[in-house]
């Protein structure tokens, strides 16, 4: 009986790892890569919904974005990977 409980516990951990932990780690890795590949002139959307174009990238992890409201300074982590990729994706017919 005790062995079955141990097997069940291990099986639950494996399921949680493959369906929750691993995909989250993969997503974090993709977002880090996206933030490191940003360059001047890229059109982006922040997580708060601000649309703009990158004017300057700083070594301290910030960037200057020009939008309709003017120039603003944001952390690179504030830029949404999904929304920016959709914005820059070619239009489907």
**pLDDT, tens digit, 9 for 90 and up, residues 43-68:** 999 999 999 999 999 989 899 999 99
Q: Where are the domains of the chain?
A: 1-37, 39-93
User: Is pLDDT at 93 greater than 60 in this prediction?
Assistant: no
User: Does residue 42 contact residue 84 with C-beta atoms inside 8 Å?
Assistant: yes
pLDDT in tens, 7-34: 999 999 999 999 999 999 999 999 999 9
Q: Which strands sit side by side in the sheet containing 70-75, from one edge to the other? A: 43-45, 51-57, 62-67, 70-75
The pLDDT assigned to 27 comes to 93
**Phi, psi angle pair for 64, to nearest 5°:** -105, 125
The architecture of the domain spanning 39-93 is: Roll (2.30)
The model scores a pTM over 0.75: no
Structure tokens at 31: 């977002």
Better-scored residue on pLDDT, 50 or 87: 50
């Amino acid at each position: 009986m005790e062995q079955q409980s141990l097997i069940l516990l291990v099986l639950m951990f494996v399921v949680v790892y493959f369906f929750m932990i691993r995909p989250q780690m993969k997503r974090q890795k993709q977002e880090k890569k996206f933030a490191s590949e940003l360059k001047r002139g890229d059109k982006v959307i922040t997580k708060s919904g601000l649309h703009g174009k990158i004017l300057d990238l700083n070594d301290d992890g910030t960037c200057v974005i020009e939008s309709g409201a003017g120039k603003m300074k944001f952390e690179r982590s504030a830029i949404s990977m999904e929304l920016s990729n959709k914005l820059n994706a070619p239009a489907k017919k």
